[in-house]
């Protein structure tokens, strides 16, 4: 499951397959061209995306200080990019979730465990 979440973030797609909304364009005075860095490159690493499992549940979550930033982007909340910066409204870019194919895989695994 974590691997599929990492692939979605790498492809810049939400769990349902829709692409993330692009970043806002920067003012003309700043660097020319598009922003070349992909969003959330570090979030998909094992350092920040943690998994936990118990007999009753499995969890994929973001660890440490990146939880707040991931929450803001996931739900499209308002936040300050820097301590003294002005508040910005972020586009919703769902980072974690499951799609129909993953639901089918989970159902099959549960069925096999019950047999």
Q: What is the per-residue DSSP string for 59-94?
A: EEEE-TTHHHHHHHHHHT-EE-SSTTSPPEEPPP--
The 8 Å CB, 24+ separation contacts for 61-66 are: 61/96, 62/95, 66/42
Mean predicted confidence (pLDDT) in 90-94? 92
What is the Cα gyration radius of the chain? 17
Q: What is the pLDDT of residue 70?
A: 92
Is pLDDT above 90 for 104? yes
Q: Give tens-digit pLDDT for 41-85.
A: 888 888 999 999 998 888 989 998 899 999 999 999 999 988 888
CA atoms of 72 and 66, how far apart (whole Å): 10
């Amino acid at each position: 499951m974590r691997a599929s979440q990492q692939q979605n973030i790498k492809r810049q797609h939400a769990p349902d397959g829709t692409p993330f909304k692009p970043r806002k364009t920067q003012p003309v005075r700043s660097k020319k061209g598009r922003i070349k860095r992909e969003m959330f490159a570090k979030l998909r690493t094992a350092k920040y995306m943690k998994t936990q499992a118990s007999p009753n549940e499995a969890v994929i979550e973001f660890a440490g200080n990146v939880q707040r930033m991931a929450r803001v982007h996931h739900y499209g909340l308002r936040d300050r990019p820097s301590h003294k910066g002005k508040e910005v409204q972020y586009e919703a870019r769902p980072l974690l979730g499951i799609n129909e194919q993953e639901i089918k895989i989970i159902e099959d695994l549960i069925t096999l465990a019950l047999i």
